Structure 1
């Protein structure tokens, strides 16, 4: 009976996450056009940071509990998952158009942040001072985005703004993030019943589950032709994970990680470079490039299982 209950919860949460993502995209687009800023900025900030709430919760709680490997590993793993499975998977469904801003400005910030993280963590410790530097850079980045308003996109199918649109945005964020929490719990319970170890659960189900909001939001946005929100959501989420989540977590206490963290940090750097190259070539991520990103992400998990 417990198995049936968990299966029903998994199915229900997937449906809720999908529906919530639709409301999230529609309300975000409506708000962007209402206040006169681009969908890309909305995707990079409100949507990107909002869908990172599961990673934020897991990382902060782990830091408080002294579980540094889980705290840092969750962020590095989630960023790799976002650029591999989610960005690649979304491009397989529908080729994603990019722009100079997202490649050079936002992609440049993501690359810079990744290099910063590698330098800070190469000694296997993320200190409080380094956390302050990371978080400070996030504040500067957000300020720069909001200070310089971008011209909103011309769109014949603009979502109509209503007085309650901000409340729909907030509600949909809570729905997507909350549903992903129950998805992780029930999927983990099913895995334990089938005899899968907690470690495998952590690097697969939990990592994928906390990224469910980004996955659903990016796919829905891409299908609706909202590429700024689709890609901006992932870039913004990765930026927030590195600068915001790890910044706050390491301000709580120094985060010490295992030697194997260096391998994933190098892989993350490689994934960021590859994703930016794909975004730049032809100013789009094609289905073939999406397949390559997914295969690299899959290879990373296989390596984790075997070694």
Structure 2
């Protein structure tokens, strides 16, 4: 009976991985077409719509944890996911393909990433994230998104002005195209989120069956599991040459996690922390600064840099699993 149950869980994991890949392909393709039609760059769409959508698992986990007073899980989920996004996901993408970076991602969104990271760490540093701090974080995100959408439209209009005239579409054609791609975007996002949830649940059951403790499950499978949508979307976008979506998704998700998810969690209920968080916060700041510095100096992420970032995440996991930090 146990073997049958384990086989079922393995099957669910396999199906979930396939679902993640299919959903991510639908999401990326529809986002790229939609971006062209609504006058936003792929990078802006990746930083906003895709980033917010793929961060839904973190939002659900953090909100649930906040409601029952589990501040350590709520904040730990955000911090762990952000480190995983920057170090492992961006690292793996860079290992597979050298990633050139748009200037705006470095100067505008790199700064936003650092500001949100430092503000988030400051709010966490006294072991309590208050409702007031949460409201400020959410307000800052609203201002950032307003600026981002405005600059994204401006950038795309400038690009259109430089393009040769001749190819136009009617209003009806544009609306039909948008409607179809909105449906595909929602369908792709739903498949990614459901598949990610199924994978986390089945992997957790397999770990419990193997005698792995709940703490280890929470610190590894859940932290990485809530980031499976970001991983799938970034990987598919990279393979399809949509690097704006791939990198924008990671950077945007991190800003969204720190400002919105942690902010909303604190507004629901002040987040009190009891565990030792110093090493994790230090690691988050170090990885964020290192990634932005690498982008600033070379405006690209090389395979060597990607290997270093991914390797640092493996080391972090080993340190955590062995109880060294």
Pairwise TM-score range, normalised by the shorter structure = over 0.9
Instruction: Indicate which of 124, 127, 131 corresponds to 1:128.
Output: 131
1:29-178 → structure 2 map (5 Å cutoff): 29-148=32-151, 149-152=153-156, 161=177, 163-178=179-194
* Aligned equivalents of 1:79, 1:161: Cα separation in 2: 34
* Aligned equivalents of 1:56, 1:227: Cα separation in 2: 25
Return 81-90 or 140-149, whichever deviates more: 140-149
Q: Is the 8 A contact 2:42 2:244 kept in 1?
A: yes
* Aligned equivalents of 1:258, 1:39: Cα separation in 2: 41
Task: For residue 196 of structure 1, give the secondary structure of its aligned residue in structure 2.
Answer: coil
Alignment-derived partner of residue 7 in structure 2: 4
Alignment-derived partner of residue 191 in structure 1: 207
Map Cα deviations across residues 223-280 of structure 1 (whole Å, 9 max, x no partner). 1111110000001100110000011000011111135212211110100011112222
> How many residues end up aligned between the 2 structures?
303
Task: For residue 229 of structure 1, give the secondary structure of its aligned residue in structure 2.
Answer: helix
Return 200-209 or 230-239, whichever deviates more: 200-209
> Are positions 1:23 and 2:39 aligned together?
no
> Are positions 1:237 and 2:241 aligned together?
no
Q: What CA RMSD, in Å, does the superposition of the two structures yield over aligned residues?
A: 1.5
- State the shift of 1:165 in Å: 0.6
* Aligned equivalents of 1:230, 1:17: Cα separation in 2: 15
| Moved beyond 6 Å, runs of 4+ | none
Alignment-derived partner of residue 14 in structure 1: 17
Alignment-derived partner of residue 167 in structure 2: none
* Aligned equivalents of 1:95, 1:212: Cα separation in 2: 22
Higher Cα Rg: structure 1 or 2?
2
* Structure 1 residues without counterparts, runs of 5 or longer: none
Instruction: Indicate which of 220, 223, 238 corresponds to 1:204.
Output: 220
Return 100-109 or 276-285, whichever deviates more: 276-285
* Aligned equivalents of 1:302, 1:104: Cα separation in 2: 34
* Aligned equivalents of 1:230, 1:222: Cα separation in 2: 6
* Aligned equivalents of 1:170, 1:289: Cα separation in 2: 34
Q: Is the 8 A contact 2:37 2:178 kept in 1?
A: no
Alignment-derived partner of residue 309 in structure 2: 293
Return 287-296 or 142-151, whichever deviates more: 142-151
Task: For residue 155 of structure 2, give the secondary structure of its aligned residue in structure 1.
Answer: coil
* Aligned equivalents of 2:274, 2:292: Cα separation in 1: 28
Q: Is the 8 A contact 1:138 1:243 kept in 2?
A: yes
* Structure 2 residues without counterparts, runs of 5 or longer: 164-175
- State the shift of 1:147 in Å: 2.3
TM-score (norm 1): 0.96
* Aligned equivalents of 1:111, 1:174: Cα separation in 2: 30
1:267-282 → structure 2 map (5 Å cutoff): 267-282=283-298
- State the shift of 1:200 in Å: 0.7
1:67 to 1:259, Cα distance in 2 relative to 1, 3 A: closer
Q: Is the 8 A contact 2:99 2:301 kept in 1?
A: yes
* Aligned equivalents of 2:191, 2:272: Cα separation in 1: 33
- State the shift of 1:151 in Å: 3.1
Map Cα deviations across residues 133-185 of structure 1 (whole Å, 9 max, x no partner). 00000000111112231434789xxxx94631101001111110111001000
